[in-house]
Structure 1
Amino acid sequence: GSVPTAREIAEVAARNLVPCSLELGGKSPFIVLEDADIDLAARTGALMYRNATQVCLAGTRFLVHDNIREAFTEKMREHVASLQIGNPQLESTEVGPLIHPRQLQKVEAYVQRAIAAGAEVLWGGSRHDGGGLYFQPTMLSGVQQDAEIVQEEVFGPVLVMQSFASDEEAIALANGTNYGLGGVCFGEESHAKAIAFGVHTGFIWINSFGIRDLAAPFGGCKNSGIGREGGEWSFEFFCDIKDVVVPKQPFVPSFAKR
């Protein structure tokens, strides 16, 4: 759910001493290192538009190394252009509608404010020509780290792209929001792992996206949630731990006289 709703739930739970586990929204980084497989990263990047990006786990902040930014942008543009937008009941559809007219208006308003603040539209940027609750897969660039479109969860097919020149800058940008749900990093495996350890999120996919083992911990950091579910972490949360003591011999405690 959303952070405001989670705070209300946590407040009520605290008054009743009820523990709560919260998995909230995200503004996850999608990091593309200089040594990444550009086509693989671009193809996976285009998948972030699936379900009209109404997925809290989606990588919505693309952080791309300066030296490959142009090549990556053009390759991702090709893959995005081939996405099938349409009826979500058809198997061929890859990008469906937004959930409600209010959400469509909200997404459109985010984009319009970003453009008014100086953002560049790399592709998309408006409602889909076919009408309905469809918004074009959109990528914005030329945005500052403190921009609304960078900091807030849009929950629609609107991504932003920033660039970096060093690993340290990539990690700083990745950690530069109040969210910490998930992340994606493409690059040579050992290099990507080193980046992953520096990114403050509940989980991060390397050269992949969407793989989940139900025995592994799942949850976010910072404003993306509290607690973990999955495997033994779920058992620990939903069970109370009890200590049962059975002595080998009858035992009666003795108390010293005062």
Structure 2
Amino acid sequence: MENTLAPAVPASTTMDSELEFIATLPKQLFIDGEWIDASDGATSAVEDPSTGATLAWVSDASPSDGERALAAAARVQDSWAGTPPRERGEILRRAFELVTARADDFALAMTLEMGKPLAESRGEVAYGAEFLRWFSEEAVRISGRYSMAPDGKSRLLVTKRPVGPCLFITPWNFPLAMATRKIAPAVAAGCTMVLKPANLTPLTALLLTEVFQEAGLPAGVLNVIPTTRPGDVTGPLIRDSRLRKLSFTGSTGVGRQLIADSAHQVLRTSMELGGNAPFLVFEDAELEAALDGAMLAKLRNMGEACTAANRFIVHESLALQFSQGLAGRMGSLKLGRGSAEGTNIGPLIDAKSRAKVDELVQDAIAGGATALTGGAPSDGEGYFYAPTVLTNVPSGARILQEEVFGPVAPVVSFRTEAEAIALANDTEFGLVAYAYTRDLNRGIRLSERLDVGMFGLNTGIVSNPAAPFGGVKQSGLGREGGTEGIEEYLETRYIGIADPS
């Protein structure tokens, strides 16, 4: 099957109305309640991935700016921790309402700096805002317990208190949701924080910061320091005794290094790292439903998501139909600028990312794989890659072991349930898995045997603010979202009380 893509050619320059919008967004650091330039005057460019042109220049924090941000967070930690839970919750609720009211602004900011189509950006606004609403309700539900000791000679009182100042390092692929997923539980728990957003997509985080300021978050509670010098800026913070928690979303390689760095201060850490999600299709699956789910699981965010389906493991009786059906759907998608009408697939984030995707595809093809559609970068400016379906993928292909982070679907087949589970678990990662089957008993077995932190049964989307997000093995530590999410920002304290009698 030949690729039926007809890529939209992006405009050479950003539209005037979009540039006018970008001009209204904050571009400075936010420290101790004030918008300020970097102490050394440095700035860095934010690029439009659909053209490669510069969208804006943003203040580029120096190490001294990082120290000032942590000092502000540490200074107000005790007063913020003493703020009534209801008041913290009300701030989050106001922030939710403000983000929702400015949904179009957030969507356009994300689309311009990250590349995803506006429809997907609007979806992220709804998803990201929901963390603010969810944790506004959790703020007043922090509780402990009181009980008699088993021997009856004392009383046991268990309380929770905020961990303390936190450092958040967020990725470029979901610039709003990855920020709210960390900030909201920290605010609810009574922690102060320093946020270092990805230097590729800082504008959305800065717009969110403006919203929190309008919502009444006190000065010093949230400090935001975009920087292109992450090691120089965050390294000293991680070694600083005033910092008590580090939360990172990004690659497993960087996560390993941050875990090692955090050992010096024995920091509490939350790590949401890489993924290599299997998508299993069994012989009894409803084919059209499985294809619908595959499109969702693979192409959300152009495949640039840790939850993206990376390996399609399909029963041999359906492998050909599934592969052809998926190629037909992916081959009919329209590439283009995310803000352009009719765009289904936007650009990848940068040239390096596109080159890595193509490297994995060409490695598979060199090993004998066949591209039913796509298989190469798209022509024209910007960092576009044609949606690709690969069949006959050899077992040793890198694309089956490495996170693709692009619109590429490698398909392999299996005969037995045991073989499917073995193939799915054959990875160092364990974030999420998807499976389509009409057999409920099989679904339960899969939920127990797949080595992942999340499992989607007959669905291509699992992320939900009310559910715990996180993985096992080298996909990370800790959970974000759900009732579990706030626990990452709370310390447990036990108080022994003498027998009152």
Please indicate, yes or no, whether the TM-score normalized by the shorter chain is above 0.5: yes
Larger strand share, 1 or 2: 2
Write the mapping of 1:45-56 to structure 2, written as runs, cut at 5 A. 45-47=294-296, 48-56=298-306
The root-mean-square deviation of aligned C-alpha atoms, in Å, is 1.7
| CA shift in 2, pair 1:130/1:51, >3 Å | farther
CA contact (8 A) 2:331 2:388 kept: no
Residue in 2 that maps onto 1:83: 333
- Aligned counterpart in structure 2 of residue 185 of structure 1, from 435, 452, 469: 435
* Displacement after TM superposition at 1:189 (Å): 4.6
Aligned to 1:214, what secondary structure does the other structure show?
coil
- Aligned counterpart in structure 2 of residue 44 of structure 1, from 293, 310, 327: 293
* Displacement after TM superposition at 1:119 (Å): 1.9
Q: How many residues are treated as equivalent by the alignment?
A: 250
Give the Cα–Cα distance (whole angstroms) in 2 for the partners of residues 74 and 235 of structure 1.
Answer: 44
Structure having the higher Rg: 2
CA contact (8 A) 2:374 2:389 kept: yes
Counterpart of 2:485, as a letter, is: S
Write the mapping of 1:116-195 to structure 2, written as runs, cut at 5 A. 116-190=366-440, 191-195=442-446
Counterpart of 1:228, as a letter, is: R
Counterpart of 1:193, as a letter, is: I
Please list the CA deviations of residues 28-53 of structure 1 after superposition, one character each: whole Å capped at 9, or x if unmatched: 00111111110111122123123221
Counterpart of 1:199, as a letter, is: L
CA contact (8 A) 2:368 2:394 kept: no
Tell whether 2:483 aligns with 1:213: no
Counterpart of 1:97, as a letter, is: P
More RCO (CA 8 Å, sep 6+): 1
Give the Cα–Cα distance (whole angstroms) in 1 for the partners of residues 333 and 295 of structure 2.
Answer: 8
* Displacement after TM superposition at 1:211 (Å): 3.7
Tell whether 2:492 aligns with 1:241: yes
Residue in 2 that maps onto 1:99: 349
Residue in 2 that maps onto 1:65: 315
| CA shift in 2, pair 1:115/1:192, >3 Å | same
Counterpart of 1:36, as a letter, is: A
Aligned to 2:280, what secondary structure does the other structure show?
strand
- Give me the identity figure in percent: 37
TM-score scaled by length of structure 1: 0.90
Larger helix share, 1 or 2: 2
Mark the runs of 5 or more structure 1 residues left unpaired by the alignment: 251-258
Aligned to 1:197, what secondary structure does the other structure show?
helix
Residue in 2 that maps onto 1:13: 262
| CA shift in 2, pair 1:218/1:189, >3 Å | farther
CA contact (8 A) 1:215 1:231 kept: yes
Aligned to 1:118, what secondary structure does the other structure show?
coil
TM-score scaled by length of structure 2: 0.48
| CA shift in 2, pair 1:116/1:157, >3 Å | same
Aligned to 2:410, what secondary structure does the other structure show?
strand
